Amino acid sequence: MVDLARLEGDDVVLDTCMGSGGFLMDAMEQLVAKAHGDEKRIYHIHDHQLIGMELDPILFALACSNMFLHGDGRSNLLFRDSLVTRDRTFTVRDADRKLRDYVKKLRPTKCVINPPYENDNPINFTMSAIEYLTEGGRLVIIMPNNTLS
């Protein structure tokens, strides 16, 4: 899945529903391989180029553990809902605006997600992910067939 994002060495990768962190671990491995052993570059990848969000506490803890065990203890993993909520006047809630502004400051260029399908419409996750990406960024998303019909 991460291969579809066609990562470059300086890409910042976002997963807005990271689950156990599989996509971020794959992205980290690809970015580290592109660093060719440059420790300063690898540190920068771990510290600035990986962003994940998860609402489920067990999955969040698992993602943190997985990232740590795979050599990254510093990525920007956030325990919260990634959906940007608007009220009836399409105004973004204050807490969501702060999250969006924080993530946008990190300048994600690629977003790879597999959103949950049971409760929220995957289109909501798609729209939120697009809001986080820098202009010209790339979104790779797994969607059920019936979503677009």
15 DSSP β-pair partners = 52
Residue 111's pLDDT is what?
A: 97
Residue span of the structural domain in which 137 resides: 2-143
| Number of domains the chain is built from | 1
In the predicted structure, residue 95 carries a pLDDT above the cut 80: no
Mean pLDDT of 1-22: 95
- Domain annotation covers residue 149: no
In the predicted structure, residue 12 carries a pLDDT above the cut 80: yes
- Domain annotation covers residue 133: yes
Who has greater pLDDT, 116 or 62? 62
pTM for this structure?
A: 0.88
- Domain annotation covers residue 76: yes
Q: Where are the beta strands (DSSP E) in 3-147?
A: 13-15, 50-54, 76-79, 110-113, 138-141
In the predicted structure, residue 26 carries a pLDDT above the cut 80: yes
Q: Measured between alpha carbons, how far is residue 72 from residues 45, 49, 149 in Å?
A: 9, 11, 40
Q: Over the chain, what is the mean pLDDT?
A: 87
Q: Measured between alpha carbons, how far is residue 106 from residues 83, 95, 109, 125, 142 in Å?
A: 17, 17, 9, 19, 24
Rounded distance between C-alpha atoms, residue 61 and residue 58, angstroms: 5
Q: What is the pLDDT of residues 100-134, one digit of tens each?
A: 888 889 999 999 999 887 765 778 888 889 989 99
pLDDT class of 41 with cuts at 50, 70, 90 = very high
* Residue 117's CATH number: 3.40.50.150
Kindly state the DSSP code that residue 86 receives in the 8-state scheme. B
